[in-house]
Amino acid sequence: MTNLDEKYMQLALDLAASAKGNTNPNPLVGAVIVKDGVIVGTGLHRKAGEPHAEVHAFRMASEHAHGATLYVTLEPCSHYGKTPPCANLVKDSGVRRVVVAMQDPNPAVAGRGIQLLRDAGIEVEVGILEQQARRLNERFIHNMLTQRPFVISKFAMTLDGKIATHTGHSKWVTGEAAREDVHQIRHEVDGILVGVGTVIADNPTLTTRLKEGNGKHPTRIIMDSSLRTPDLANVLNTEQAQTILVCSKDVSQDKIDQFTEKGVTVLPVGKNEHGLQIDEMLEQLYQLGITDILLEGGSKVNASFLQQGAIDKYVVYIAPKVLGGNLSLTPFAGYNPSFMNEAWNVEVTTFDKVGEDLRIIAYPKLG
């Protein structure tokens, strides 16, 4: 491995990342072809169903690929999916060396692409900037390993950990830049989830509103065990975005029909001591094509995800203000631990500033 390898792989990762939000359920993939120190081909996967990154890069490189090195952020595929296997294309292109950031977690590939290239006598190196590649495709890896959506818990709180006053007033905790940042995440995910309490209290639209360009609206998922969502709730307006109401299995068919008539999907799931069964709900949502979910509260829903081990990532905004008050709301409510060792440990991977606010990205610590 050389610094140059890292440089070209970084370029491939940046190309891949530029399609964030557009490739679901597929991964983000970038490819760069280098011949004698010159970049002769670049490509990225833009959208599910469209050509893979390698295809674009080889089209650009054409005969210059002969004897060149291919940098690709994910192992070239070996299967017939919506498109034919890239490993064959790579093999036939005449490249001498292939540098791969990470093996494909898709069981249909899982090392077979790399093996196919090695068997063809091509030098293959795996693991360059692997950690970055894994972060970039954290959602895809999670999907492949668990067959469940990747859940991002987002909340905005004051320096003293409050998300709203005791009346529930929360407009606004953070500044404009942080709120714009959240809309960028909404654009990137398939689903946005809140509890019916939030729908009743705030009547949110839960759509994406980006300053520049048109964002995509995620599917709105409302956890509403007894279907209490008010008739005139903004989330029931399905002209802009789709809506799924998740209720308990004991809700009557009549009531369910009232909502399905409005164009909303109703998903009945079982219950446990924490409320609706998150595991079952996530499995079913994945079957409906939801690969990632932005969890936007309220604090009871947040707590039930936490307690059922269903949070995969945290994005937390901390505003430079102190609210105070022992009745002010906090991000996770609904249970009261007695000892510090009952806390959920996380690993903070990033902290930076977005406008005036602090942004922290963390992941649950396993074990």
- Which residue minimizes CB distance to Zn ion? 86
Q: How far apart are CA 250 and CA 358, in angstroms?
A: 43
Q: How far apart are CA 257 and CA 148, in angstroms?
A: 27
Token pair of 273 as six digits: 């001591």
Q: How far apart are CA 18 and CA 30, in angstroms?
A: 9
Nearer residue to ligand AOF within complex by CB, 77 or 311: 77
Count Cβ atoms below 10 Å from residue 98 Cβ, excluding itself: 27
The reply to whether 12 sits near ligand AOF by the rule CB under 6 A is no
* Choices 7-15, 104-112, 189-197, 282-290; region in contact with ligand AOF by CB under 6 A: 104-112
Which one among 34, 68, 86, 311 touches ligand AOF, defined by CB under 6 A? 86
The reply to whether 72 sits near Zn ion by the rule CB under 5 A is no
Q: How far apart are CA 245 and CA 195, in angstroms?
A: 10
Within residues 30-69, the interface with ligand AOF by CB under 6 A covers 45, 52-53
The reply to whether 106 sits near ligand AOF by the rule CB under 6 A is yes
Count Cβ atoms below 10 Å from residue 35 Cβ, excluding itself: 18
Q: Which amino acid is at 192?
A: I
Chain position carrying tokens 């079957």? 287
Within residues 250-279, the interface with Zn ion by CB under 5 A covers none
The item of ligand AOF, Zn ion, none sharing an interface with residue 27, based on CB under 5 to 8 Å by kind, is ligand AOF
**312: CB partners within 8 A, 6+ apart:** 138, 142, 150, 151, 152, 363, 364
The reply to whether 77 sits near Zn ion by the rule CB under 5 A is yes
CB of 45 to ligand AOF, least distance (A): 3
Nearer residue to ligand AOF within complex by CB, 77 or 178: 77
Residues contributing to the site for ligand AOF (CB under 6 A): 26-27, 29, 45, 52-53, 74, 77, 81-83, 86, 104, 106, 109
Residues contributing to the site for Zn ion (CB under 5 A): 52, 77, 86
